[in-house]
């Protein structure tokens, strides 16, 4: 197990993709659990980025709160802006105060919806591969100019490993990369760039590969929020194929704690850590549970043609992160799903404001032609 006395303790972190689902939950978790930490949220605010997801964070930790949080709107492909961010040349938009140069980047910014990647692969390559390259180059030049202890954590996905058979052992970090969609291929490309920058330039990078996340503030084009919001409106629930695809479900707050464990205690020589919830559930069973929780009829389910290249099963072996970092998931899936469904019931105004884009995509992709 890693010696806690040798832990890396950043004082200022940048979270890219901070207004997205995992990013906003990570920002909130960091500020709640690290009382001295400064967090710079960086996001382009595309369709899946929503500043309302950070409204409570802004009030508690922005300029009118304890001052530990700042938001910068920007593109990870903007090399000049990324360079200014890393060098500490940017100012907090409201107060004008100079933001400290970070000593860690938690990189979550990505195009992430598999179905959209099938319709338009180029955007995924541009953001996920080119954007990661720009960030890596920015870190490389910044550390050459101003050397300091630093960590770059690349947050990736189990989908880079491809698909498992029903009786296959879970993915380990030694599994070959066998991506089956443009999305997962673009994430695998980013992972390979990160590894190359470690080997070629000695950059202090780590990669995490997570299983399917769920929890509050998830854009309602993904499976769980899509099913909840449509069921609440008594609308058809599109389920791919036979619904027997299996996913390993990880609560987003558990994921946040794992990212921080890897950032602060991860060994650079290990490079990659699998993060999973150890909760394998069939998609159709997830939908049945949601309908039962909402008191809605199972007849709302509509089976639709299967996704192209649809991976049958994902499962993660988390032995490395459990034994070396003493991390393991805390949220049991059934309880976590119940609390997530309740969150969407109680926060209708949040998802109704982003519903039009999610439903436009849903109708175009599934109901007139279904979510990872």
Q: Which of 246, 217, 210 is nearest to 340 (CA)?
A: 217
State how far the Cα of 133 lies from the Cα of 107, in Å rounded to an integer. Answer: 12
Please pick, among 183, 217, 314, 359, the residue that the annotation labels catalytic: 183
Report the alpha-carbon distance of residue 42 to residue 361 in Å, rounded.
25
**Active-site residue, selected from the candidate residues 158, 191, 248, 280:** 158
What string of DSSP letters covers 32-84? HH-TT-EEEEEE---TT--GGGGHHHHHHHSTTTTS-EEEEE--TT-HHHHHH
Per DSSP, helices labelled H in the chain are 21-33, 55-61, 79-87, 114-119, 121-124, 131-145, 182-201, 223-232, 252-265, 283-294, 319-325, 333-346, 348-352, 355-365
Catalytic, 253? Answer no
Q: Distance (Å, rounded) from C-alpha 40 to C-alpha 16?
A: 9
CB of 7 closer than 8 Å to CB of 32: no
Greatest Cα pair distance, the chain, in angstroms, is 62
| 115 among known catalytic residues | no
Write the burial class of residue 353 (CB in 10 Å: 0-12 exposed, 13-18 middle, 19+ buried): exposed
Catalytic residue among 111, 159, 278, 311: 159
**Exposed, middle or buried: residue 63 (CB in 10 Å: 0-12, 13-18, 19+)?**
middle
Q: Are 189 and 126 in contact (CB under 8 A)?
A: no
Strand-pair partners of 42: 16, 72
> Does the annotation count 173 as an active-site position?
no
Q: Which residue has the tokens 């996704």?
A: 307
Q: Measured at the alpha carbon of residue 122, what is the angle toward residues 119 and 127, in degrees to the nearest 5?
A: 115
Active site residues: 158-159, 183
């Amino acid at each position: 197990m890693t010696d806690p006395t040798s832990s890396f303790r950043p004082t200022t972190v940048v979270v890219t993709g901070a207004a997205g689902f995992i990013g906003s939950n990570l920002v909130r978790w960091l500020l709640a659990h690290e009382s001295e930490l400064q967090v710079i949220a960086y996001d382009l605010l595309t369709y899946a980025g929503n500043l309302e997801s950070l409204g409570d964070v802004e009030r508690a930790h922005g300029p009118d709160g304890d001052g530990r949080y700042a938001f910068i709107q920007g593109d990870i492909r903007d090399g000049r802006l990324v360079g200014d961010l890393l060098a500490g040349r940017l100012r907090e938009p409201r107060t004008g105060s100079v933001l400290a140069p970070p000593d860690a980047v938690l990189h979550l910014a990505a195009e992430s919806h598999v179905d959209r990647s099938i319709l338009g692969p180029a955007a995924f390559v541009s953001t996920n591969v080119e954007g990661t390259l720009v960030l890596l180059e920015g870190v490389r030049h910044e550390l050459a100019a101003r050397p300091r202890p630093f960590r770059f954590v690349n947050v990736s996905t189990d989908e880079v490993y491809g698909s498992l058979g029903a009786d296959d052992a879970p993915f380990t970090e030694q599994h070959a990369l066998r991506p089956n969609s443009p999305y997962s291929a673009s994430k695998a490309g980013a992972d390979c760039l990160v590894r190359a920058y470690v080997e070629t330039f000695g950059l202090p990078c780590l990669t995490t590969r997570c299983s399917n996340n769920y929890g509050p503030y998830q854009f309602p084009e993904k499976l769980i929020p899509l099913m909840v919001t449509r069921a609440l409106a008594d609308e058809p629930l599109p389920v791919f194929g036979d619904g027997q695809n299996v996913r390993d479900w990880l609560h987003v707050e558990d994921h946040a704690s794992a990212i921080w464990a890897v950032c602060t205690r991860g060994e650079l020589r290990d490079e990659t850590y699998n993060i999973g919830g150890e909760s394998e559930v069939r998609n159709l069973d997830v939908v049945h549970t949601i309908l039962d929780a909402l008191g809605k009829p199972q007849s709302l389910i509509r089976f639709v043609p299967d996704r192209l290249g649809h991976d049958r099963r994902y499962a993660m072996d988390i032995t490395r992160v459990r034994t070396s970092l003493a991390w393991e998931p805390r949220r049991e899936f059934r309880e976590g799903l119940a609390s997530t469904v309740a969150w969407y019931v109680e926060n209708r105004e949040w998802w109704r404001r982003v519903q039009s884009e999610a439903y436009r995509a849903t109708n175009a992709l599934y109901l007139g032609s279904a979510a990872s």
